[in-house]
Amino acid sequence: MKPARMIPVVCLILAACLFGAASGVFFALTSDLPQIRSLQEFKPSAVTRMYSSDDILLTELFDEKRNPVPLDRIPSLLKSALLATEDRNFYNHIGVDLKGIARAIIKDIFAGEFAEGASTITQQLAKTLFLTPEKSLSRKIKEAILAIQIERRFAKDEILGLYLNQIYLGSGAYGVESAARIYFGKPIESLDLAQCALIAGLPKAPSRFSPLVNREVAKKRRNAVLKQMLELGIITQGGFHQAAKEPIISEETAQDTQHASYFIDYTKKFLEREIGASLLYKGGLTVKTTLSSKLQKEAETAVETGLSAAKKRMVQARIKAPDPQGALIALDVLSGGILAMVGGKDFVKSPYNRATSAQRQPGSAFKPFVYASAIENGFSQNQMLLDTPAVFRGGRFGEEWRPDNFSGEYLGEITMRKALAISENIPTVRLIEKVGPASVIRFTRKAGIDSPLSPDLSLALGTSEVTLLELTAGYAVFANKGEWVKPECVTEVRNAEGLIIWEMIPEKRVVMTRTGAAIVTDMLRAVIEEGTGKQALQLGRPLAGKTGTTNDFKDALFIGYSPSLVSGVWVGQDIQTSLGNGETGSKAALPIWIDFMKAALADSPYSYFDVSDDGIYLFLDPDTGRLAQEPFEGSVKALFPNTIEIPPD
């Protein structure tokens, strides 16, 4: 073949080789690229919001704080500011800006190193969604290829919308809506020019330019964005000067001081078990809780005040390293909904929830379950019990046991009503001996107390440890016509489309008869009207409850209720040492309970406890047990089953 004729053949072969080499490089670079069409089904993780029952935002839960919003909700000023700073040619290029790349290459050559530059918004989106942040030529080529593929499949506005909802904008914010709420505490559509410019300036260096990190740096960057908008004619000279003078961020942070921290933590753990952590933190859910924001604030204030007073008394009593802790739980009697929860005095310092997790001896606060078990077994509140020093067999370890009355005094024979009202120990031990510890345990199990209970006579005096939540829910049985309702923290969960995906179904069971519950309530009213809880008379409405104090004053409790609300208070030290001599349930816990209930019931209508048709009020001598239909000297009005026989005078 003549040389002249060989030239086209050689060129063809060389072209084929070059094409093959180029194809090899292309396929090598793109063989591991993700499928772009997966973007069509792409759903970014979104923020879950938790609300109180009165629609106050309690907290936001997220894996990445992201609040996707449609493009039409985003202010045009923000879109213009972003395009002015990040990609002025966005609506004209094919995904890559060839002129920009050429300029960047020249700069890199003179700089002597590879630097990030000339990335279009589409390239940034490709990197954010599909690639690692490494700086290399191969990654840059992949980024460009992906950008071109994205541009072929999606409209410009779709790409811009994805970018605005995905880009990281510092301080935990992913997307412009999250940034608006974190930095300014408002939705994206409410931003003004200065705020739009600040957000538009963040993608270049979000951590550095965040106004929560460095306000001066953030201000310089914001004003630089405003200047570019002015140069492009997006804003006027007057608009520029006005926006440049605006403060960089409000002194009021976007995130309010968080209250109800123990409740929020408790609810998060509950929902993780119920619906799974992935859906909870990524699904953009709306969680409606049972919490009352008003009652929660009152509970926190009451506990804080009460613990401050207790610590002052401990200091005066020279208690070593006094550090009283407290807990409060409040439940709706009918629904079981948790209305308020305080698990300690400082969640940040100690997130351990003493209302739901701490198992402590309830002391005399356990006695109502002994008396309720007796009422269900046919005893009546005028039943006489012997209150004298005694030695019992059947203590915790089976040995002889010599309990004492807290007062150190003994009254001989007294009624069940009086024994409970003044919290005498010996009569209560005699009562559990008659009823049987096993019977009391069966009753308390039905009343929702799942903690281990020791089946011996000491159970009567609250020696077995329980949680405050269990104990408080158990008392609700007496207010709720004998029915136990499982405490709940969430009423419903809705998905991002507003559909209910989880709803509270109350778990209930009958524990005792309606009449029996009413009689126990009547006996617990005597605690307040005639016994250890007299301080609560100041509230001036029907209330029932019981104090509790453990050995050496380690734990102080008061559990009490109105017809609609039950609440329990515990005060103690985490190291289980004494609060100090005299720090009883009536001294350390009852004042907190009173402060809370006073505020909680302030706007509630006056109401009465339930009395069934099977009950009858009679007049009782609390010392002798004598009954009559008419009042007599020293008598009190008390409730009995209507089958009771009244002996003639």
Domains of the chain: 62-244 (1.10.3810.10), 298-497+505-614 (3.40.710.10)
Q: How far apart are CA 557 and CA 423, in angstroms?
A: 13
Q: How far apart are CA 283 and CA 266, in angstroms?
A: 19
Q: How far apart are CA 209 and CA 217, in angstroms?
A: 6
Angle separating helix axes 367-376 and 425-435, nearest 10 degrees: 40
The distance from CA 238 to its chain's CA centroid, rounded to whole angstroms, is 47
Tell me the C-alpha to C-alpha distance, in Å, between residue 189 and each of 69, 274, 451.
10, 34, 52
Supply the pLDDT for residue 147. 77
User: Which secondary structure element, helix H or strand E, spans residue 4, and what is its range?
Assistant: helix 3-30
DSSP 238-269: HHHHHHHTS-SS-SS-SSPPP--HHHHHHHHH
Q: How far apart are CA 481 and CA 474, in angstroms?
A: 12
The HSE-up count of residue 500 (CA atoms within 13 Å, CB side) is 7
Exactly one of 45, 52, 86, 578 is catalytic; name it.
86
Could you give the 3-state DSSP secondary structure of residue 158? helix
In DSSP terms, 568 is beta-bridged to: 329, 559
Which residue reads 């093959």 in tokens? 20
pLDDT per 10-residue tile (average), the chain, 649 residues? 52 46 40 53 73 92 78 93 89 76 60 59 76 57 78 85 87 87 89 95 89 89 95 94 88 54 95 93 93 97 97 94 96 98 92 96 98 97 96 75 92 96 97 97 98 95 97 98 98 96 96 98 97 95 97 97 98 96 96 98 93 92 93 95 81
Question: How wide is the angle at C-alpha 200 spanned by C-alphas 197 and 201, nearest 5°?
Answer: 90
Residue 236 gets the label, from left (phi > 0), alpha (psi -120 to 50) or beta, of beta
Supply the pLDDT for residue 254. 35
- Return the CA Rg of the chain: 36
Exactly one of 53, 364, 380, 578 is catalytic; name it.
364
Question: How wide is the angle at C-alpha 399 spanned by C-alphas 395 and 400, nearest 5°?
Answer: 80
251 assigned to active site? no
Q: Quick count: other Cβ atoms within 10 Å of Cβ 142?
A: 21
Supply the pLDDT for residue 67. 77
pTM, 2 dp = 0.75
Question: Which is it for strands 400-401 and 57-61: parallel, antiparallel or unpaired?
Answer: unpaired
Strands lying side by side in the sheet with 490-494: 57-61, 48-51, 286-289, 490-494, 500-503
Q: How far apart are CA 250 and CA 212, in angstroms?
A: 11
DSSP 362-430: -GGGGHHHHHHHHHHTT--TT-EEEES---EE--TTSSEE----TTS---EEEEHHHHHHTT-HHHHHH
The amino acid that residue 181 corresponds to is R
Q: Please answer whether residues 285 and 495 qualify as being in contact, where contact means their C-beta atoms are separated by less than 8 angstroms.
A: yes
Could you give the 3-state DSSP secondary structure of residue 582? coil
400 assigned to active site? no
Which residue reads 């306000």 in tokens? 215
Residue 546 gets the label, from left (phi > 0), alpha (psi -120 to 50) or beta, of beta
Tell me the C-alpha to C-alpha distance, in Å, between residue 186 and each of 154, 294, 312, 403, 496.
30, 23, 43, 63, 20
Supply the pLDDT for residue 17. 42
- Give residues with Cβ within 8 angstroms of 611, minimum separation 6: 518, 617, 639
Alpha-carbon dihedral 172, 175, 177, 178, rounded to 10 degrees: -10
